[in-house]
Amino acid sequence: MREFIAIAKPLVGDEELSAIGEVLSSGMLTQGEVVKKFEDGFSRYLGVENSIAVSNGTVALDLAVKALGLKDGDEVISPAFTFIATANCILYQGLKPVFADVDERTFNLDPADLAEKITPKTKAVIGVHLYGQPFDLKGVQQVCQDHNLALIEDCAQAHGAEHHGKKVGSFATGCFSFYPTKNMTTGEGGMITTNDDAVAERLRLIRNHGDTGKYNHVLVGYNYRMTNIQGAIGQVQLGKLEEFIGRRLENAKYLSSHLKAKEITPPYVAKDIRHVYNQYVVRVEDDFPCTREDLMAYLQSKGVGSAIHYPKPVYDQPIYRDLGLKGSCPVAEDVSRRVLSLPVHPSLKKEDLEYIAQVINSYGG
Ligand SMILES: *Cc1c(COP(=O)(O)O)cnc(C)c1O
C-alpha cells in the first residue's frame, strides 16, 4: 500500500543525531557556545549584525514587541490573515491589536489598507511573510516611515526568502521559528534578528533574567533560552537550508505546472522576490466541481494530506471576538474560505508529486 503523504515532514538525519550526541557528552546542555555558533551562522546567512536564539517563535515575537517599550492603549497593526501567534504577542504586552487586510493574490499585508487602519495611537506594525513569500516590504516600509511606526517582520515561515536580493529578517526586527513544520527545525526554537546592537543587548538580557553575569540582575527578565541541544540541531539544519529550499522550489514548480483544473489557482509569486514555499497554497475557486472541504476529504481518502492555513481571520477567533477586537478585512475573510495547502516539503519524491497532481486532476472523474 502507498504510504500516506503528509502535509509536512521534518527532514533530520544522522548529522543531527551525532551533533546532539556531542552536546550530550560535553555535559553543557543549555545555552552556551553551541547556541552562540548557531546564532553567528544565522547572522552570516541572513546578512545581519545580531541573532538572538530563544525557546520558540512565539517568544521571539513576544520579546520583539516587548523591546519596543510601548505603553497601555498603544495600537499595533497585524495582518488579519496569519497564524494567531502574530497577534497574540501584541496582547501579551497589554497593547491593542488592529487588523489590516491582505492582498488577494499574495495573501500578504496590503500597504493601502494598512495606511487606512492607522490612528493617532498606532505605534508599530508586524508584517508576516506568509507561506514563505515576502510581503511588500517597499510599500509597508514607506507607510511605516510616513507615520513614524516601528516594523517587526514575522519570518516564522520564511527562512531564506528574499526581497530584491536581500533576505527577510534583515529589513527590520526579524522573528523566526524552528518548529518542525518550518523550513528548518530545532524541534522547538526561535531566533530574533536585528542590526541594532542596543536592541540586541536588551533582548539578550530579557532572555536570561536580566543577568549581566554572575547573578547581577538589571531588569525583570525571563528564562527564554535555547538549549545547546537545539542549537546543535539548528547548526546542521542551517547548513542544509539552501538544499531544502531548492527542493521546495522544484516541488512547487512541478505542482504549478501539473495542476490542470482552471478553478484551482496556483500560488502567485510577486516580482523580484524569492518565495521559499513553507506552504504551497492554492485557491479553490467557487466554480470548482466541489467545495474545498470535499476536496480535502477526497485527498485524505486517497492518502494525501492537506491543510487550511487559516480557516478564518484572527479577529474571528473566539478569543478575539470575546475581547471585542472584531476587524473589517473582506479580502482576509474571502481568501480564508478558499485557501488550501498541499504537500511541498523536501521529503517528497517525484512519484509523490505525480500522484498528488493526478489525484487532484482526477477529481470528479
Ligand atoms: C509558526 C509561526 C509562529 C510561531 O512560532 P512557534 O515556534 O510555533 O512559536 C508565528 N508566526 C507564524 C506566521 C508562524 O507560522
Chain segment 70-113, per-residue pLDDT in tens: 999 999 999 999 999 999 999 999 999 999 999 999 999 999 99
Cα–Cα distance, 161 to 365 (Å, whole number):
38
**Intervals of CATH 3.90.1150.10 along the chain:** 242-361
What was the pLDDT predicted at 364? 56
Query: Ligand 1 center to residue 234 CA distance, Å?
Result: 16
Grid coordinates representing 134 are 515576502
Give CA separation, 312 vs 116, 318, 331, 336, 339, in Å: 21, 11, 11, 5, 10
Residues 6+ apart with CB under 8 A from 257: none
**Intervals of CATH 3.40.640.10 along the chain:** 14-238
The two beta strands, 173-177 and 150-154, are parallel
Cα–Cα distance, 237 to 1 (Å, whole number):
31
Residues 9-20: tens digit of each pLDDT: 999 999 999 999
What was the pLDDT predicted at 365? 43
Confidence class for position 363, pLDDT limits 50, 70, 90: confident
Kindly list the protein residues whose Cβ atom lies closer than 6 A to any atom of ligand 1. 56-58, 82-83, 85-86, 128, 154, 156-157, 177, 179, 190
| CA nearest to 171, candidates 131, 202, 134 | 134
Residue 49 predicted with pLDDT over 60: yes
Residue 285 predicted with pLDDT over 80: yes
Mean pLDDT of 238-251: 98
Residues 182-194: tens digit of each pLDDT: 999 999 999 999 9
Q: Which of 55, 78, 157 to mutate to test the pocket of ligand 1 (most atoms within 8 A of CB)?
A: 157
Lowest-confidence segment of 120-124, 171-175, 184-188, 259-263 by average pLDDT: 259-263
* Domain 242-361 coded CATH 3.90.1150.10: yes
Residues 114-146: tens digit of each pLDDT: 999 999 999 999 999 999 999 999 999 999 999
Q: Which amino acid is at 347?
A: S
Could you tell me if 113 and 161 are in contact, meaning their C-beta atoms sit under 8 angstroms apart? Answer: no
Domain 14-238, architecture per CATH = 3-Layer(aba) Sandwich (3.40)
Cα–Cα distance, 209 to 195 (Å, whole number):
23
Residue 296 predicted with pLDDT over 60: yes
Query: Ligand 1 center to residue 339 CA distance, Å?
Result: 19
Cα–Cα distance, 238 to 52 (Å, whole number):
15
Residue 5 predicted with pLDDT over 60: yes
Q: Which atom of ligand 1 is nearest to the CA of 190?
A: 7
Cα–Cα distance, 4 to 305 (Å, whole number):
7
Number of H helices, E strands in the chain: 12, 13
Q: Which of 86, 102, 224, 309 to mutate to test the pocket of ligand 1 (most atoms within 8 A of CB)?
A: 86
What single string gives the DSSP state of each residue in 85-127?
HHHHHHHHTTPEEEEE-B-TTT-SB-HHHHHHT--TTEEEEEE
Residues 312-356: tens digit of each pLDDT: 999 999 999 999 999 999 999 999 999 999 999 999 999 999 999
Query: Ligand 1 center to residue 85 CA distance, Å?
Result: 6
Grid coordinates representing 76 are 499595533
Share of the chain above pLDDT 70, in %: 99
